[in-house]
Amino acid sequence: PSSSPRHDDLKEMLDSNKDSLKLEAMKRIVAMIARGKNASDLFPAVVKNVACKNIEVKKLVYVYLVRYAEEQQDLALLSISTFQRGLKDPNQLIRASALRVLSSIRVTIIVPIMMLAIKEAASDMSPYVRKTAAHAIPKLYSLDPEQKDCLIEVIEKLLADKTTLVAGSVVMAFEEVCPERIDLIHKNYRKLCNLLIDVEEWGQVVIINMLTRYARTQFLNPNMNVSIAEEKEKKKTEATAIVKRKPYVMDPDHRLLLRNTKPLLQSRNAAVVMAVAQLYFHLAPKAEVGVIAKALVRLMRSHSEVQYVVLQNVATMSIKRRGMFEPYLKSFYIRSTDPTQIKVLKLEVLTNLANETNISTILREFQTYIKSNDKDFVAATIQAIGRCATNIGEVRDTCLNGLVQLLSNRDELVVAESVVVIKKLLQMQPEQHSDIIKHMAKLTDNIQVPMARASILWLIGEYCEHVPKIAPDVLRKMAKTFTNEEDIVKLQIINLAAKLYLTNSKQTKLLTQYVLNLAKYDQNYDIRDRARFIRQLIVPTDKSGALSKYAKKLFLALKPAPVLESPFKDRDHFQLGSLSHLLNAKAGGYQVLPDWPEAAPDPSVRNVEVKESVPEWTKCSSREKRKEKKADKPFYSDSEGESGPTESADSDTASGSESGSGSEESGSGSESEESNEDSESASEEDEEEEGKKKKKNVEKIKARKPVPESERYDSQPNTIASVQVFDTICKPAWLYMQFLLNPPLPVSVPQTIVPSGNLKTYELLHRITGEGLSVEYCFSRQPFSPDPHMVAVKIQFTNSATSEAKSLHVEDAKLQSGMRIKEFPEIEVLPAGETVSVVMGIDFCDSTQAANFQLCTHTRKFFVSIQPPVGELMMPIFMTENEFKKEQGQLMGMNEITEKLTLEEKCQGEHAVVQRVTTAANLSRVPCGSDKECRFAGKTVTSGSLVLVSVVTKEDGAAQLTVNCEKMVIGTMLVKDILQALTQ
């Protein structure tokens, strides 16, 4: 329901000032979600409590947000700035939860924000947060695969992490994003082997599967000497021709992997045991593989829920490694309580393990199984008896006689399956078993199963010379019932008639013609075609072709005996335990198990120089400096999330005890001081001024009265920024609200910095595609007079055709929600060889989404799109130095992005910096007292959101770019464009 009294109660509890009521409400809401009830209408009430001081409430709020982040993307985007503040929370659980929520929002426009958040989290002092960053990597990759290179850098960084909590997660990210980059594993191989025993069970499975494939590419086959010896035994005469190889010596790193995974066979987790078993099967020497048999049998007995998967793997292993499971033969005996699929797999294993020694025991078991009421299981048992008879010649007669006895069974399905298996066995020695063929011929009156009847007819036709008296009589009976038989039986009747015609035409000539005449008018075209073909082949006429001479060779040729093989044969080329192995087909996302290399790759790639690694969060010159830094930087409200990595060392205890008296307004001031203090380019004079400002701010905060939490949430400046992010994407109705909450700054003299000659021109329509009409456009950077909230786009038409173009206009604009377009006046006629320019307005709604529309002439319509660079979504504003500093001080913290860069020689001058920044973005220059700093200001055209840019240069070419923006999405994209402009 959209609203109910119960939900109203929850909203009241969430709006109260008591943490106990909020906690109770969140528990009830999470319980509702767990029961499958919709709680999305509570989103506004829940999201307010992200800033709650109570950690338990915060945790449950983030659980709620993760649930609705992907489903309710619009609502989640509304609170994106809140999640960003959560990334700086002193509590590691909150930081991780905030990143989890952020990575659950599946909207491409926040990809840069997610990328920054993952990079920061990868350097977090908390292993739990770094683990969450690893989990977020595949989510970002699936959302935007173009981020692969950046994500690989993060993965490489996290692979070097020495904590067991992170190892499994980053290997999983590696498998999802870049499994082909095996070079990333070299330096971390030994570390992963040594950490394996302490990693959580889920991580152990992932790491073992990855290391299995790694080892197959880096080490030699440990069984190469065994295979060479077998080859010599098979080809003793050609032994001299076999290339002699060096004696095999196992690589120490190969041995390290086998040694460190062996103890995990005792794990309580079934998946871990299975992973180690497949690793040993694929990598271990033949003499050592046996250690996994006992573990698998124990696993099969103790975990009934994983029996099916275990038996799948055992069935594959028992084909090539039969000896290792023979001591546990009785463990695979079938119980009456086993499900059918388990019974069939156990039958498969028993059949694979059968040999001359144990076959008598296994056949006695099979005799018991045949009496089962499970018909599918009985059919599988009969097939297993046939396979045993095929593989072990000593018991072939015994099996055949046992199957013949089953022909008198009351159950028709048992008889039918027996007939099919007997047919395959008789093909091996038909001359010795003519009595069995006669006995089966008599069953044609009773057996009604089509496959069984067809098998009997095939046998009689194939070996008709062994039963010359019975075969014609069988054909006579079949001819009577021909029209009522199934298609598969009809085809075998025709084959039988043809074979008898060729071997005994005196008795069967008329019968054969009768059968062929019946088949000639059958409803099935396959039967009609077969009859026509056989008539021309066996009854030669003047029109018969050359094939009729070879009719006997075609029909009476010796057929090779069928080979009854296990369905699990050759499945071991798939990695055991994988979905592909289970299906016996390559599944999506499956990583192929590599073949062993011919020559051992260089083992030195795994050597690591031992260095004293210092985590980034501890990189400070001395303990005293860190203490001074901590003393200078008290945070005033932990809901603001200003504490950097150094403060979060005591995160678990700090979160609930900090003073909450400071309002959000004063929080922005504290953000500015901390951000400036982190900047390496600040001079000593600036630091003294900042110290004075800090004291003033602290005095203001102490003197200010506490503000109720609900009011404090509503008055957050970042909430407006989050509304603007939401507005960027889909809600034009928010524009008016945002204008009321955040009126644009006063504009004195808007200045257009870049002359029109320097404007970049883009192609809208090529003259070949446009049939002689070419169209280019540029962003004129002039105010669009009909609507100041639109970007002015200058469009130039050139008619290169020989005829004039008429009625040039825009139609069928397909725009993202919130975007608008002001069409240019229709151009009635454009003569050949002429050029004309027009201006149209587009409200991009502060986003870089493309505006799609049709460009029409009097004869054609062309689909085109205009996509703006982020710098063209702005207009310059005039600002004094003091105004710039004041506004910059209010846009710190999560509204500020700082990047360090190195300028090229041609770009180190002040003039070059100004030219490149203003070319990348439509901003105006702000006066500055220092010649080492360039400042720029502007606002977005649609919403009037403030954009401030500062570039501080040094003598050695190093520089620092700072962008302060009310809309973080705009700021993130702007940083990227300016960095590209300054470094090219």
Are residues 114 and 136 in contact, defined by beta-carbon separation less than 8 angstroms? yes
Name residue, tokens 């692969």: 148
pLDDT computed for residue 490 by the predictor: 92
pLDDT computed for residue 127 by the predictor: 93
Query: Which candidate, 743, 780, 725, places its Cα nearest to that of 971?
Result: 725
Long-range contacts of the stretch 280-283 (C-beta < 8 A, 24+) = 281/313, 281/317, 281/321, 281/572, 281/576, 282/212, 282/216, 282/572, 282/575, 282/576, 282/593, 283/212, 283/215, 283/216, 283/219, 283/222, 283/254, 283/257, 283/258
Tokens found for residue 167: 């190892």
Three-class secondary structure of residue 322 per DSSP: helix
Q: How many CA atoms lie within 13 A of 151 on its CB side?
A: 30
Given pLDDT bands bounded at 50, 70 and 90, which one contains residue 413? confident
Given pLDDT bands bounded at 50, 70 and 90, which one contains residue 611? low
Name residue, tokens 């105010």: 783
pLDDT tens, position by position, 287-297? 888 889 999 99
Three-class secondary structure of residue 852 per DSSP: strand
Q: How far apart are CA 387 and CA 854, in angstroms?
A: 69
Look at the alpha carbons of 831, 833, 839, 841 in this order and tell me if their dihedral is positive or negative: positive
pLDDT tens, position by position, 742-799? 444 443 333 333 333 468 899 998 888 888 899 999 998 888 888 888 999 999 999 9
Are residues 613 and 634 in contact, defined by beta-carbon separation less than 8 angstroms? no
Cα distance from N-terminal residue to C-terminal residue, the chain: 56
Name residue, tokens 């109770």: 24
Q: How far apart are CA 208 and CA 168, in angstroms?
A: 10
Name residue, tokens 């993965």: 155
Q: How far apart are CA 471 and CA 464, in angstroms?
A: 6
Q: Say yes or no to pLDDT of 614 above 70.
A: no
**DSSP 8-class letter at 760:** -
pLDDT tens, position by position, 235-283? 544 444 444 556 778 889 999 999 999 999 999 899 999 999 999 999 9
Q: Which residues contact 808 (CB under 8 A, 6 or more apart)?
A: 797, 826, 827, 830, 855, 856, 857
Q: How far apart are CA 51 and CA 151, in angstroms?
A: 30
Average the pLDDT over each of 663-677, 882-896, 913-927 and give the range with the smallest value.
Answer: 663-677
Q: Which residues contact 228 (CB under 8 A, 6 or more apart)?
A: 242, 245
**DSSP 8-class letter at 130:** H
**Higher-confidence residue: 413 or 510?**
510
Query: Which candidate, 951, 883, 944, 878, places its Cα nearest to that of 912?
Result: 951
How confident is the prediction for the chain on average, in pLDDT? 78
Three-class secondary structure of residue 861 per DSSP: strand
Residue 612 CA: distances (Å) to CA of 409, 609, 615:
79, 10, 10
Name residue, tokens 């999305």: 40
Query: pTM for the complete prediction?
Result: 0.57
pLDDT tens, position by position, 135-160? 999 999 998 999 999 999 999 999 99
Are residues 556 and 537 in contact, defined by beta-carbon separation less than 8 angstroms? no
Q: How far apart are CA 746 and CA 752, in angstroms?
A: 17
**Higher-confidence residue: 411 or 693?**
411
Per DSSP, the residues of 59-107 read HHHHHHHHHHHTTTHHHHHHTHHHHHHHTT-SSHHHHHHHHHHHHH---
CA 942 to chain centre: 37
Are residues 101 and 93 in contact, defined by beta-carbon separation less than 8 angstroms? no
Are residues 640 and 664 in contact, defined by beta-carbon separation less than 8 angstroms? yes
Q: Give me the residues paired with residue 946 across strands.
A: 939
The top-scoring range by mean pLDDT among 67-81, 166-180, 359-373 is: 166-180
Look at the alpha carbons of 795, 798, 801, 807 in this order and tell me if their dihedral is positive or negative: positive
pLDDT computed for residue 543 by the predictor: 65
Query: Which candidate, 56, 64, 65, places its Cα nearest to that of 93?
Result: 56
Name residue, tokens 């045991």: 273
Q: Say yes or no to pLDDT of 51 above 80.
A: no
Q: How far apart are CA 804 and CA 791, in angstroms?
A: 30
**Higher-confidence residue: 396 or 272?**
272
Q: Say yes or no to pLDDT of 1 above 70.
A: no
pLDDT tens, position by position, 831-856? 988 999 999 999 988 888 889 999 99
CA 208 to chain centre: 19
**DSSP 8-class letter at 898:** E
**DSSP 8-class letter at 575:** P
